[in-house]
Structure 1
């Protein structure tokens, strides 16, 4: 190695090569240039941001005002029909102060055409497990199918639907194919519900599609015990007889008479018990048309809800193959997978047009004086079923809100 190439021997100043100081100065100069460029770029972005902030407020304020206006308009409700005002409101007059959703409502308000009754909208049934799954109520113009296995207490459910309507001060009609009127009335007394005052108040009609099927009706009437004869006498005016239950036109006519007697429009409940029995009397197409006709004349025209019971046992899931006929389908099932060695009953809403519902199963039991009630199967099963009355022993099985069991 030459002496000039050794690390300690550097070229003096003024000769070829650069000193360490020169390299350091050039490096610092490049760093300052980068810093200045970065600073200028940051300042430019800050100026652009300030300019954007200066230009945008008016646009954002306009957008915010428009949003507030739309929200306020949605919150406004027409004083005549009580529904939200969807478009620009119609100004009122001296006879009908507004704003209104339409000219028709404004004119109706001025003419005192009252339509603000809420009976035709949604209503709570009063049945705990059903109301827990449909918290905002069932549409009053709905035809609802209650379907489930044997042992799911469908009869108790339809009985309670009628009882809750009566206790609300509304009338009710039962179309009875499965049992005679005295047996239908006995279900209320079995649940510790005294139906006699409501029979005297003329709030109930039973369309009897069972008795006239018997070969010897007089013998059937004579075999009733004293209590049956007493209840039958009280309920005599409440029974609308059907001579030929296989003639569904006669059944529909008897139902219309019962509804007219009770002046049922936008009030009350109708129960059909059951579709399975009708299916044994007539062909499928006749049953299909009967359900469609009753749905149109009772539910849609009068705004009176109807609940029909059916069983899922057998080859078909429903007595009517077309599910679209029904506005709602409520499934009842037996479940033995939740609590070991225990078969529980559960209720779930499969379909309900025009209403929101909780897509879960509600576990329920039946107690005298209480009807159907929900409970937590994981913690309250022992108390519910050992009590015998549905009120519990020790830790009571009370209903403090929706309690759901199952998957």
Structure 2
């Protein structure tokens, strides 16, 4: 066999390190127990500390059709993702669905609720037909409450709740982490870390933040930047737990000006260029460090229980909407 043929076959079928599971680029370090890419891996394996397959925790599939269609090899789990979109693009539903799909996969989730009280945040799940009560009881869901202690009369708010909101609040009581001063970025970050520790969230699960706009109203710009930078390092990069945060683009070019602090940006927009008399929703991935992305817009719609779903690339919008007389009614594309 020629040397070139050996080289070509080695490139097509590289040896895999028995410790880190990455390809061995040169001659392997060998021992009685396996082949390794480096002395560090061989010595670590001798200490019985073999790493799990990196594909098992370093990437994940969100379970949301329009998003996954643009990231064919999965989203990096060490990413801080910004959902940046117009009002009316179902941005809040996308954040809720990301948490629900994590629960469906059997993983834990932490939801940072800045714009709404915890019962309203939980109602977003129920409004979509997603029952999170079992996840609350099995200790797989935490709500970080950054809202209630900002009310002028917290007791009056609790007394005036409906029977359903009271039931949900009492059922979720042990899963709600109250942040007494959400304008203190360190207290907020510590609350997130305690929730992650309680749920044993390392290399599993997902964190969502409902509104960076609302957080900006509590913190000065620089403090929001510092908060994002800190939890990106200590949650995403250290634990391999992704964070997804929403922000509106209404009245501004984007959020924040320092977009480099985010590993990925998902843009959501409304457009009236694809069908007469209709404003359709579209999604695109502007950037995603460490992942292959398809550079295109995907048209999508939303249904309760089903969540966000994509149109086929050649689908006439009239197959998804009844664009005749009266209100449009979404139907499943054929």
Per the shorter chain, which TM-score range?
Answer: over 0.9
- Structure 2 residue 204 is the aligned partner of structure 1 residue 204: no
Name the structure 1 match of 2:19: 80
* CA offset digits 1:150-203 (Å, max 9, x no partner): 111111000010000001110000111110000000011111111111111110
* CA offset digits 1:97-155 (Å, max 9, x no partner): x2221222222223221311444311101111111000111111100111011111111
Pick the aligned partner of 1:155 from 92, 98, 110.
92
- Quick one: distance in 2 between partners of 1:183 and 1:276? 18
Residues 1:227 and 1:389: Cα distance change in structure 2 (over 3 Å): farther
Q: Which runs of 5+ in 1 are unaligned?
A: 1-57, 399-407
Q: Is the 8 A contact 1:160 1:371 kept in 2?
A: yes
Residues 1:238 and 1:117: Cα distance change in structure 2 (over 3 Å): farther
Q: Is the 8 A contact 1:380 1:397 kept in 2?
A: no
Relative to the length of structure 1, the TM-score reads: 0.77
- Structure 2 residue 232 is the aligned partner of structure 1 residue 303: no
Pick the aligned partner of 1:144 from 52, 61, 81.
81
Query: What is the CA-CA distance between 1:70 and the residue it aligns to?
Result: 4.2
Q: Is the 8 A contact 1:147 1:330 kept in 2?
A: yes
Name the structure 1 match of 2:47: 111
Name the structure 2 match of 1:233: 170
Post-superposition, which runs of at least 4 consecutive aligned residues in structure 1 deviate over 6 A? Answer: none
Name the structure 2 match of 1:382: 318
Q: Is the 8 A contact 1:208 1:241 kept in 2?
A: yes
- Structure 2 residue 275 is the aligned partner of structure 1 residue 339: yes
* Rg larger in structure: 1
- Structure 2 residue 197 is the aligned partner of structure 1 residue 256: no
Pick the aligned partner of 2:221 from 262, 281, 284.
284
Question: SS of 1:125's equivalent?
Answer: coil
Question: SS of 1:337's equivalent?
Answer: coil
* CA offset digits 1:226-281 (Å, max 9, x no partner): 11111111100110001111111111111111111111111000001111111112
- Quick one: distance in 2 between partners of 1:313 and 1:62? 60
- Quick one: distance in 2 between partners of 1:383 and 1:226? 41
- Quick one: distance in 1 between partners of 2:61 and 2:249? 26
Question: SS of 2:281's equivalent?
Answer: strand
Name the structure 2 match of 1:312: 249
Relative to the length of structure 2, the TM-score reads: 0.94
Comparing both structures, which one devotes a greater share of its residues to helix?
1
Aligned pairs for 1:328-407 (under 5 A) are 328-376=264-312, 379-386=315-322, 392=331, 396-397=332-333
Q: Is the 8 A contact 1:367 1:389 kept in 2?
A: no
Name the structure 2 match of 1:216: 153
- Quick one: distance in 2 between partners of 1:192 and 1:64? 57
- Quick one: distance in 2 between partners of 1:360 and 1:300? 28
Question: SS of 1:257's equivalent?
Answer: helix
Residues 1:84 and 1:117: Cα distance change in structure 2 (over 3 Å): closer
Aligned pairs for 1:60-79 (under 5 A) are 61-72=2-13, 75-79=14-18
- Quick one: distance in 2 between partners of 1:292 and 1:359? 27
Q: Is the 8 A contact 2:315 2:333 kept in 1?
A: no
Question: SS of 2:31's equivalent?
Answer: coil
Name the structure 2 match of 1:31: none
Where relative contact order (Cα < 8 A, 6+ residues apart) is larger, the structure is 2
Aligned pairs for 1:7-26 (under 5 A) are none
- Structure 2 residue 139 is the aligned partner of structure 1 residue 194: no
Question: SS of 1:263's equivalent?
Answer: coil
Comparing both structures, which one devotes a greater share of its residues to strand?
2
